[in-house]
Structures are given as structure tokens and as C-alpha cells.
Amino acid sequence: MPLPPPAATGMPLAEVDTPALLLDLDAFERNVATMAESARGLRLRPHAKSHKCPEIALRQIAAGAVGVCCQKVSEAAAMVDGGIGDVLVSNEIVGRAKLARLAELAKRARVSVCVDDATNAGDLDDAARAAGVRLDVLVEVDVGANRCGVEPGEPALRLARAVAGSRHLRFAGIHAYHGAAQHLRSVAERSAAIALAAEKARRTRDLLEDEGLECESVTGAGTGTFLFESGSGVWTELQPGSYIFMDADYGRNAWEGFPRFEQSLYIWTTAMSAPVPGRVVVDAGLKAHSFDSGNPLVAGWPGVEYVRGSDEHGVLKVASGARAPARGEKLRLIPGHCDPTVNLYDWLVCYRGESVEALWPVAARGAFY
């Protein structure tokens, strides 16, 4: 059973139990509005793998988004259960049970999905037939991420033809996402990576359209690069996810020329031990944030650094002369990587100023099937 929330609405932030996942609503709302403005002219389909929270998806759609992306069928189901009517599963779905669930979902919402293999397209067609639905399918093209996706050009054309020739599938365009480019540190590196990706996406789109396969959607882009995709004239739809929260790793990117997104996501933690001068231990460790992108940062405490995490502890180093958090004092940490950190929590504790305004369930927490 999920744990009870660590807070109640109206409660002062100081009383919220720790560790908790905090969302600064003012910063979050500004981030949602800023992206909605920045995407002007293109369809915005934010990635729900970042938040896994229908309450957030509803607010993104209210601000103009056309729907959301998901990575897993169970994540998509949580979004549809939460009232979202248009979900792109921006990923390959493999295995009979998953395909059956995906096709069933298409009875309740507009569902599209990616493929990078003709056999998989055949399996999708079978699942759609069995469920009595028609699925929108995008061909994933590897534009530089070196993960999934067919090669640009002819391989994409062959697969698009297979999709278009499948009775229960509709060819809907190409998926061209360059994940590896999002965290290149300089704007110039990110711009150069997306210029290469754009060449591959454009060439593929042109080839397909020359062959009579209309690419209704060319979809991709993330928080780190969306300006370049939107300026390329190739993409028709943007999929950024992290912009609503931001994190320590995105904070290490350079951002000149980009609109400003603010840190809105924090881990609320208590200083639980201060055994010797210069060392304070907090109650948020490896199970309270994801360490794949390094240690969290300590917000608003100059000279205090999170230097080491173990399962349930974080060790802070306090520089000489800096004020150390006192035992029992609570502080905010900025997670290294927002997406897998959110996936550790059942609740987002949403606050404004110094008090809790709402508790939003992370409904798709753990939904990786």
C-alpha cells in the first residue's frame, strides 16, 4: 500500500515530514507558462516520464499542450486513468502482454506508439486487430542518440512502408529524439548536435514524403535543446519533460539564448545528526534521490555541500565559517536528476510560500511495465 502523504493541505512547510518531494507551485506554474509561450507555432507534448502525475499533465494541457508522451504502457494507462485523452508512447513496446494492454488503451484515448522493427510492427498490427482498434504508429529514427531507432533514409522508408501497409496501423510520422544532446554543457555543442539530427530527420521526412508517405508528425526534442528543433523547420512537435522541475544536472548546462526555467522540485530533509564540527547528516540518502547524475545540491545554504550518500543518510560538509544546519532543522535539496528521483515518491507536496497547498499523487510511480 502507498504510504500516507507526509503532509496535509494548509500545513506549514516546517511541519512536513521528511524526506518529502516538494514542488514550489509558483516556480512550477511559471515554468509551465514559459514553455507554452516558447513552443508557439509547434505542438507541445510534454513528457510525462518526468512527473508521472496526471495533475501536472492536466495543467500542461490547460496551458496549451496537445497531450503527453509516456515511455511505458502502464505509465500511459495511469495518464488515461487520470483523464488525459492523447498519449504518445515514445518508445518501442515489445511482448504480447504489453501490446495487448496498449491496444486496449486505444479504446479509451488516442494512443500512438513508436516502432523500429518490421516484426514488431506486425505484432502491433496483430494486437490492434485483436482489440478492434487502429493505432497511430511513428517510425523511430536514430538521429544521434545511438539507442533505439532505425537508421535515417532508406531503412526508415522500408519500415514506414510496412507500417502504412498494415491494416490496423496508421503511419503517423517519425520520432526523432536526440536524448544524448540534452546534457551537452555548452549551447554551441547542443546546437551542433541538433543541426546534425535535423539533417537526418529532414532527409528522412523528405524521402518518405517523396514516396507518398505523409509525415503528419515529426516529434522529439527535450528541455536542453527544444529551441534548436523548433527553429529547424523540421520538427512539428516538441516533447520536453524536465523544464517543469529542473535539476542539478540541468543546472550545469549553459543556457544563453534560452528562456529561463526555475528550480521547482526539492527534497525536503531533516538534519538528524551533527556529531562533529563541519559534518551534518541528513535523512535523505540513496533511496530519497537518484544519484545517476551525481549528488544533490543544498539549496540556500552557502558553504554547505552534500558530499556522500548512503542508503538512508546524506553527509553534508560545512565549510569553516558557514552556518551549519542545526539538528532538527529542515532543508531543501536539489536532486541531481529529476525524473528517477520523482519515481521514488508516492506524493508531490505542493507548496506556495511557506505552506502546503496541495498533495498530488505520483500515480505512475513504479509504472515501468
Q: Looking at 116, 125, 229, 249, which residue binds a second copy (CB under 8 A)? A: 116
Residue 197 binds a second copy, judged by CB under 8 A: no
Binding residues for a second copy restricted to 216-275, rule: CB under 8 A: 270-275
Residues 159-169: b if buried by 16+ CB within 10 A, e if exposed = bbbbbbebebb
Q: What is the residue type of 32?
A: V
Residue 14 binds a second copy, judged by CB under 8 A: no
Q: Name the CA dihedral angle for 118, 123, 128, 131, rounded to a multiple of 10 degrees.
A: 180
Give the nearer residue to a second copy in terms of CB position, either 36 or 355: 355
Give the nearer residue to a second copy in terms of CB position, either 190 or 337: 337
Q: What is the DSSP secondary-structure string of 187-226?
A: HHHHHHHHHHHHHHHHHHHHHHHHTT---SEEEE--TTTH
Q: Which DSSP state fits 326?
A: P
The length of the chain in residues reads 369
Which segment (89-97, 161-169, 197-205, 210-218) binds a second copy by CB under 8 A? 89-97
Which segment (27-35, 55-63, 349-357, 358-366) binds a second copy by CB under 8 A? 358-366
Give the nearer residue to a second copy in terms of CB position, either 84 or 114: 114
Binding residues for a second copy restricted to 155-184, rule: CB under 8 A: 179
State the Rg of the chain over Cα. Answer: 22
Contact 364, 79 (CB under 8 A): yes
Q: Looking at 313, 352, 355, 357, which residue binds a second copy (CB under 8 A)? A: 313
Q: Whole-number minimum distance, CB 123 to a second copy, in Å? A: 9
Q: Which helix (H) or strand (E) holds 128?
A: helix 118-131
* CA nearest to 26, candidates 358, 318, 346: 358
Residue 120 binds a second copy, judged by CB under 8 A: yes
The neighbour count for residue 115, using CB atoms within 10 Å, is: 31
**How far apart (Å, rounded) are the C-alpha atoms in residues 335 and 341?**
7
Q: Whole-number minimum distance, CB 346 to a second copy, in Å? A: 6
Q: Which residues here bind a second copy, judged by CB under 8 A?
A: 1-3, 6, 15, 17-19, 49, 71-72, 74, 91-95, 97-98, 116-117, 119-120, 142, 146-151, 179, 270-276, 279, 281, 283-284, 286-288, 290-292, 309-313, 315, 327-328, 337, 339-340, 343-346, 363, 365-369
